[in-house]
């Protein structure tokens, strides 16, 4: 697939986007391999802002991006996820999201100019204070509830597991054809997918949920800045992903916060299939399959 992961972008001059208000710019460090966007802080006479542009022209031929595209049509080049998040989530989310100031086309690429929000990138959800992780649980429950109260449980094409099955089958054959452990797991999981109970409703979830999407003051989450891959899916998928990112104590505090808004859904039936799907997407990289599937249950 054709990407625009061009080394010359590191020195890209963004001053034409700002004219006389431009002062200086700084390319922000990447937080994980395969990061989808180039991101700069730009200082202007009107204050700092953030400028983003996608590294991709079309989804790369990789497990995560092919899964995201085939399941949700998720693609970072259009900024569809960020624009949707600003319109739908920002008015309701307890976690601040950056306001989108404008879009610009410059030298053949689409750039998004957004507000600069204070804080430092979060390294781990487990670094949050008890109050901070409880507040995060409460905030996520409110965001999940938007699917039921505002978006009326939008389900684009039937039960999620029915929609996910052919995508999982494709990913197994395309990227894991020689992986015996993956093939064995799929042989055992696939027959049970059709028998999963239907979801109560779909919610906005971050398909690439990771602490690096958030800013912190060292104790609390202060902002959610990377909303490119917000999609509609069962909240079960995001919660099962969070099990890999929280230690036992923080998971308990997260649950306390979440359940001030809504009971956590029962994840037992969906957990094997959804864990398998997340690993197919390399949610946290190329983790050993057995270790991944046997990770401690947090919720």
CB 201 within 8 A of CB 147: yes
CA distance 5 to 8: 9
> For residues 66-105, b (16+ Cβ closer than 10 Å) or e, as one string?
bbbebbbebbbbebbbbbebbebbbeebebbbbebeeebe
Helix, strand, or coil here: 43?
strand
Q: Is residue 2 part of a domain?
A: no
Return the half-sphere exposure (C-beta side, CA atoms, 13 A cut-off) of residue 94. Answer: 18
Q: Is residue 187 part of a domain?
A: yes
Strand order in the sheet with 214-216: 120-121, 214-216, 221-224
Note the pLDDT of residue 73.
Answer: 86
Do residues 96 and 127 share a domain?
Answer: no
Q: Indicate whether 121 pLDDT > 80.
A: yes
CA 203 to each of CA 143, 148, 200, 235: distance values in angstroms, whole numbers, following the listed order: 7, 7, 10, 6
CA distance 196 to 230: 24
Residues forming a β-bridge with 106: 109
The reported pTM is: 0.91
Do residues 177 and 256 share a domain?
Answer: yes
Note the pLDDT of residue 56.
Answer: 77
Instruction: Strands of 217-292 (E only): list them.
Output: 221-224, 230-234
The model's confidence at residue 280, banded by pLDDT at 50, 70 and 90, is: very high
Helix, strand, or coil here: 103?
strand
Range of the structural domain that residue 108 is part of:
7-65+74-115
Please state the rounded mean pLDDT for residues 155-166: 80
* Torsion region of 108: left, alpha or beta (phi above 0 gives left; psi -120 to 50 gives alpha): left
Do residues 207 and 96 share a domain?
Answer: no
Q: Is residue 1 part of a domain?
A: no
Encode pLDDT of 73-119 as tens digits: 887 777 888 888 899 899 999 999 999 999 999 888 889 999 999 89
Q: Is residue 197 part of a domain?
A: yes
The rounded mean pLDDT for the chain is 90
Encode pLDDT of 206-263 as tens digits: 999 999 999 999 999 999 998 888 999 999 999 999 999 999 999 999 999 999 999 9
Other C-beta atoms closer than 10 Å to the C-beta of 144 total 24
Q: Is residue 260 part of a domain?
A: yes
In this predicted model, which residue has the larger pLDDT, 166 or 1?
166
CA 109 to each of CA 18, 104, 192, 230, 296: distance values in angstroms, whole numbers, following the listed order: 16, 8, 44, 22, 43
CB 297 within 8 A of CB 243: yes
Q: Is residue 298 part of a domain?
A: no
Query: Alpha carbon 101 to chain centroid distance?
Result: 22
Do residues 29 and 126 share a domain?
Answer: no
Do residues 22 and 84 share a domain?
Answer: yes
Q: How many domains in the chain?
A: 2
Give the total residue count for the chain.
299
Q: What is the CATH number of the domain that holds 101?
A: 3.30.200
């Amino acid at each position: 697939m054709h990407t625009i992961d061009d080394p010359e972008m590191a020195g890209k001059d963004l001053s034409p986007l700002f004219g006389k208000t431009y002062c200086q710019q700084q390319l922000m460090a990447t937080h994980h391999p395969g990061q989808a966007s180039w991101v700069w802080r730009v200082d202007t006479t009107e204050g700092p802002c953030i400028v983003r542009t996608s590294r991709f022209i079309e989804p790369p031929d990789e497990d995560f991006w092919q899964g995201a595209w085939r399941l949700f049509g998720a693609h970072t080049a259009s900024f569809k996820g960020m624009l949707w998040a600003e319109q739908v989530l920002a008015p309701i989310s307890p976690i601040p999201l950056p306001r989108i100031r404008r879009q610009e086309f410059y030298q053949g690429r689409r750039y998004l100019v957004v507000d600069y929000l204070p804080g430092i990138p979060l390294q781990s959800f487990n670094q949050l204070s008890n109050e901070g992780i409880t507040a995060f649980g409460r905030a996520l429950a409110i965001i999940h509830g938007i699917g039921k109260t505002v978006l009326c449980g939008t389900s684009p094409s039937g039960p999620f597991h029915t929609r996910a099955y052919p995508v999982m089958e494709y990913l197994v054959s395309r990227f894991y054809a020689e992986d015996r452990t993956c093939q064995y797991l799929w042989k055992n999981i696939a027959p049970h997918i059709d028998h999963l109970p239907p979801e109560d409703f779909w919610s906005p979830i971050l398909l690439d949920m990771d602490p690096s999407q958030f800013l912190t003051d060292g104790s609390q989450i202060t902002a959610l800045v990377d909303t490119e891959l917000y999609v509609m899916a069962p909240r079960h998928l995001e919660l099962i992903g969070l099990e890999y990112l929280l230690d036992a104590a923080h998971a308990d505090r997260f649950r306390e916060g979440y359940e001030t808004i809504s009971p956590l859904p029962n994840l037992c039936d969906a957990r094997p299939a959804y864990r398998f799907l997340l690993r197919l997407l390399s949610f946290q990289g190329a983790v050993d399959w057995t270790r991944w599937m046997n990770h401690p249950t947090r919720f």
